[in-house]
Amino acid sequence: MLQVYLVRHGETQWNAERRIQGQSDSPLTALGERQAQQVGERVRTLGITHIIASDLGRTRQTAEIIASACGCGITFDPRLRELDMGVLEQRFIDTLTEEEELWRRQLVNGTPDGRIPQGESMQELGERVRAALQDCLELPKGSRPLLVSHGIALGCLVSTILGLPAYAERRLRLRNCSVSRVDYQESQWLAPGWVVESAGDVSHLDAPALDELQR
């Protein structure tokens, strides 16, 4: 059985300001750095052998903090980037027009072909993050990887493992520096392949972690 841990990056300045990040970037806040340190403290005894992270700045920062606790190297994989949110990136959520808010809501309300102009669809996102996860099966036997990615990207990945379409209504909350785990296994009582062991655990954090839509 292969166990893969999934970690969302720590809180960023734009998370705190309720700005849309997508594949644009902002640095971790002091709270975000502390959250990453607490993830490192939690996972350092789990035998993590590989850390694979999105190549965006906020995931790089988070991965580097976790890697320092685990004592292992980092590989950066652009397939683990957040959803490309096109023309709405860097915008404050509260300043969107009615039409722009409709574009944004289509990413979370189950619209099959929803996308922000010049951005990416959930189906495109799902295909690339699932491919990144699938490549973990090529790691040496006995590996225990940890992937550092983003809220929408990881939510889409977990949802597709559960058999939902990539564009399904978004109903899984993955807060900053939450830890999830998926396993690749064979079981008499579960479908073969990837299964969800846990999702969105923040019990290791000493302060409430906020998601990108709730402040």
Is the per-residue pLDDT at 213 higher than 70? no
pLDDT average, residue stretch 1-12:
97
pLDDT per residue as tens digits for the range 149-182: 999 999 999 999 999 999 999 999 999 999 999 9
Average pLDDT, the chain: 95
Residues 136-158 pLDDT 10s: 999 999 999 999 999 999 999 99
Residue with token string 């579960």: 190
**Residues forming the annotated binding site for substrate?**
8-15, 21-22, 58, 60, 82-85, 104-105, 151-152
> Can you give the pLDDT at residue 208?
80
Tokens representing residue 11 in the block: 């809180």
Q: 124 CB contacts (<8 Å, ≥6 apart)? A: none
* CATH number for the domain running over 2-201: 3.40.50.1240
At which residue do the structure tokens 């999934």 appear?
A: 6
Closest CA to 83 of 167, 13, 204, 207: 167
Binding residues, as ranges, are 8-15, 21-22, 58, 60, 82-85, 104-105, 151-152
Q: Of 189, 181, 74, 185, which is closest to residue 137 (Cα–Cα)?
A: 185
User: Region 119-138: what's the mean pLDDT?
Assistant: 98
Q: Which residues are catalytic?
A: 9, 82
This prediction has a pTM of 0.96
